[in-house]
Amino acid sequence: MESPLWTETHRPDLEDLPQDDVREYLQRAVDEPLNLVLQGPPGSGKTAAARALARAAHENPDSDLVVVNVADFFGRTKSDITNDPRFEHFLAGKSSMSKRDMINHVLKEAASYAPATGAYKTLLLDNAEAAREDFQHALRRTMEQYHRNTQFVLTTRQPTKLIAPIRSRCFPIPVRAPTAAETVTVLERIVEAEGVEHDADGLEYVAGAADGDLREAILGAQTTHETRGAVTMQAAYETLGEVGHDDAVTSMLDDAEAGDFSDARSTLDDLLVEEGFSGDEVLTAVLRVGRSRYDGERLAEIHRLAGEVDLDMTEGADDRVHLSHLLAELGA
């Protein structure tokens, strides 16, 4: 997309968050700041909620909110970290440090400086499950040392990956996936602000295709608008149906159930390699197609298998291996 992403230009304020319980918890955190863990599935709005909290809590959120994507941090080289404009002033003359020490130093320095306004600042650690255990122990010490002037907010889809000393120092806030109706409300606010032609059926189709992933729904609506000039039912079907490749997924499931495992896996390879879908996107498409072709115990079995595969993929290894296991189970 050449235009700015709607996920960035329409970041929600606290009152715009679709989940009632999350809004209530975070409003309390504005009045009584404490360390938080926002935990929930991908695309449920954890990071957006944390940023909304900071805007509500700080007079100068641009200065008093420090955001570190932990997964990105650990996947970068020392040179990338040193040259990042957000961190280079913390690391001047520190090039001889190990990467782990660099990361610890950045967080300690970020936590130590005084807030620009008010009594405290917020340090947001996004995708916190990516932090190694030794880093988490160092983070726990930093949290203890600077608790008077720094609020620590961690977002994660795997809270069990956080060590117990960190979990015990944070109030957990479950961020569930928004319902289809809640997603439609968010989409309606955005398309009306953008002046985009739309209809209720189009918004409902986009929300249903995203299956609880709010980020995907917003980007889906923007893609539909930029491709077709409107977010109507016909436009959404033509745009997102092409993106979803549901016909290929249907063929893959047909082959798996018929015992043609080689053909099913060949289609899976096409989706993952040729089309460039992630394992999560393929799994979401399998569930979407499954809901239209199965019911009762068979549908429940598909969801059970999908849950196991989703957990396996979050633990690592090859998405192709885990999705192939699902296809083999369907054939069995």
What is the reported pLDDT for 193?
Answer: 96
| Residue 271 structure tokens | 């989706």
Residue 192 lies in a domain: yes
pLDDT above 80: residue 219: yes
pLDDT above 80: residue 1: no
What are the pLDDT digits (tens) for 297-320? 888 888 888 888 888 887 766 788
| Residue 263 structure tokens | 């053909």
Kindly state whether residues 125 and 215 are assigned to the same domain. no
Q: Which of 151, 174, 197 is the last residue of a domain?
A: 174
Average pLDDT (257-272) is 87
Query: Tell me, what CATH number does 327's domain have?
Result: 1.20.272.10
Q: Which of 138, 155, 174 is the last residue of a domain?
A: 174
What is the reported pLDDT for 242?
Answer: 52
Kindly state whether residues 47 and 80 are assigned to the same domain. yes
pLDDT above 80: residue 4: yes
Range of the domain at 64: 19-174
Q: Which tops the pLDDT comparison, 220 or 287?
A: 220
pLDDT above 80: residue 101: yes
Average pLDDT (133-149) is 91
Kindly state whether residues 75 and 135 are assigned to the same domain. yes
Kindly state whether residues 281 and 327 are assigned to the same domain. yes
Dihedral sign for Cα 260, 261, 263, 264, please. Answer: positive
What are the pLDDT digits (tens) for 16-54? 999 999 999 999 999 888 999 999 998 899 999 999 999
Residue 327 lies in a domain: yes
Q: Give 67: exposed, middle or buried? Use CB within 10 Å, 0-12, 13-18, 19+.
A: middle
Residue 10 lies in a domain: no
Instruction: Give 273's pLDDT tier (boundaries 50, 70, 90).
Output: confident
What is the reported pLDDT for 316?
Answer: 64
Q: In whole angstroms, what is the distance from residue 150 CA to residue 318 CA?
A: 38
pLDDT above 80: residue 201: yes
Dihedral sign for Cα 101, 107, 109, 112, please. Answer: negative
Average pLDDT (234-261) is 80
Kindly state whether residues 139 and 278 are assigned to the same domain. no
* Domain tally, the chain: 3
First to last CA, the chain: 42
Q: Which tops the pLDDT comparison, 97 or 136?
A: 136
User: Per 3-state DSSP, what percentage of the chain is helix, strand, and coil (rounded to 5)?
Assistant: 65, 10, 30
Q: Which of 210, 226, 244 is the last residue of a domain?
A: 244
Q: Check if the beta carbon of residue 14 is closer than 8 Å to that of residue 45.
A: no
